[in-house]
Amino acid sequence: MSSVSKINQLPDELLALILATGLRDLSSDAHQPLLALICSVCRHWRDVAIGASELWTTIHISLEQHLPATQTFLERSKGRLIDLYITELYPVILAHKVAEITAPHISRARTLTMTLPDFDIYNVFLTAYRSISATSLSSLSIHVPDALWSSHGHSPLFASTDSLRYLDTEGDFLRDVPSRASLTSLELNKYYPTHADIQNLFDASPCLETLILHRFDRGGGSLDRANEDDGAPITITAPTTLKSLAVSLSRYHTHINSATSCDCVLGSLRSLNLEYLEVVGSSVLNIDIDLKVHFGQLDKLRTLRIQDCTVSSADEEFFLSLKELRRLELVDMSPKDMRHIADPLSSSFSFPRLSSVFLSMTGGYMDGLHWLLQLAERCVAAGCPRFALEVEKGRSGEIFKAIESCIQDGRVCIIESDCGGLIIDEEESDEWPEEEDEDEDRWGDGEEYPFDEWPDDDDRWGDEEGYSSDEWPEWQLEHELEEDGFLF
């Protein structure tokens, strides 16, 4: 009995669950080819797959030959919530076709991700969707690379988005989202707000828990003032729900000639319940963020991640204020900067509750390690039961060998960790992705995914066995599969 026949003895519901598990962690563009492959195994697998509407809810569209499969997915998902990924569409006529197919179903979209080449393409979807209430939409990601959102008319993309929890887009697109009251996570790229802008953002999103600002810069004009009489700076109050803030600094982020203020909004931000702060500078420019000026008092901060930033003795007061900090993550920081963090000039002890430090560097590991080791020794001497020096996977052996003789306390250990921040590497994120022909090469130029019925009189099919490799040599089997649209 073949493996296919044995599997076919399982109840249909269990087979469908196995197939769904296989699809669960795939990228959006991998669902169509894998489902085509599943449907090619045998008639029984195909019937089970067609009857399992949960298998057809992830839809990826980037090429015209995806349109027939898209229509099939929309039909076979049978009213379930769908996750829709629309990328790299061109030209406008293709966008019109995609909008026409998806608009009748967009009200059941749970996830909508659109990465589009220009506003002409975006406006096609705006026209098709703007009268629709996206009542099920919980995740929305829209990017138009290198476009000036400020010149866009800012008509709302949908009539309503009352269930939206996650939004990822350019800063000016906020005005295109009709409702942000339910947002818990917000990612904004190239956001240059005034103080009023950022306060309005918080007021419109009272449930916000995570705010990620990519390539953040100061807004135009000088520092906003509460009123013209006393010139008092505005205080921006974040929601009490805000627990995580990640900021990557634009190369144009500079503060005015003052040691106590900056004309960006960060210095005015008051987030009393913040527990995670991530600050990312530049690998090209030395950016001195001046942590005290920009982030003030963070009494509840538990994790601080700093990457590619210059730290100086001026930041000592900020570090001394972090009485609840449990974890410190240092990425691509110079040994000099690590010394300012781990061995301040003040006799006061920084980070009394610290229990772990993660270190990731492209080079110069050994130069900064002994400063972190001294910090670890001070922490365990102050009562920390166990202190973890975390390094990237594959590096713990050489690190331990280099500093083994320096470890004086057995409560200090070196472990490996795969610790990523909220902000990914952005060096190439502004570039439009290069076109890849892998999809067309695999499936043929203009070929449709073979989701339609195979003829009942096709004698290549057994009742349960699928294609019989015993009867044909391998080259002939591959030839027959190619005739059905599969190019392996």
Give one DSSP letter per residue of 397-425, joined into a string. Answer: HHHHHHHGGG---TTEEEEE-----SSPP
Cis peptide before 91 (omega within 30 of 0): yes
For residue 285, the model assigns a pLDDT of 64
Whole-model pTM over 0.85: no
CA–CA separation, 170 and 147 (whole Å) = 9
Domain boundary among 137, 160, 183: 183
Q: Let me know whether 105 and 139 are in one domain.
A: yes
Q: Let me know whether 41 and 72 are in one domain.
A: no
Domain extent, residue 9, equals 1-53+453-488
Q: Let me know whether 63 and 177 are in one domain.
A: yes
pLDDT band for position 472 (cuts 50, 70, 90) = very low
Q: Does residue 476 lie within any of the structural domains?
A: yes
pLDDT 10s digits, 374-421: 888 888 888 899 999 888 887 777 777 767 667 777 888 888 888 889
Report the range of poorest mean pLDDT among 6-10, 221-225, 311-315, 351-355: 221-225
Most confident of 5-14, 22-31, 131-140: 131-140
Residue 268: phi, psi to the nearest 5? -95, -5
CA angle, 310 then 316 then 320, to 5°: 130
Q: Does residue 3 lie within any of the structural domains?
A: yes
pLDDT 10s digits, 100-116: 999 999 999 999 999 99
Q: Let me know whether 30 and 80 are in one domain.
A: no
Domain boundary among 120, 153, 183: 183
Q: Let me know whether 61 and 171 are in one domain.
A: yes
In total, how many domains does the chain have? Answer: 2
Domain boundary among 126, 160, 183: 183
Q: Let me know whether 82 and 43 are in one domain.
A: no
Radius of gyration of the chain (CA): 28
Q: Let me know whether 63 and 148 are in one domain.
A: yes
pLDDT 10s digits, 414-429: 888 888 899 986 554 4
Q: Let me know whether 63 and 49 are in one domain.
A: no
Q: Let me know whether 64 and 174 are in one domain.
A: yes
Res 1 pLDDT > 70: no
For residue 151, the model assigns a pLDDT of 57
The 3-class SS string of 103-120 reads HHHHHHEEEEEEECCCHH
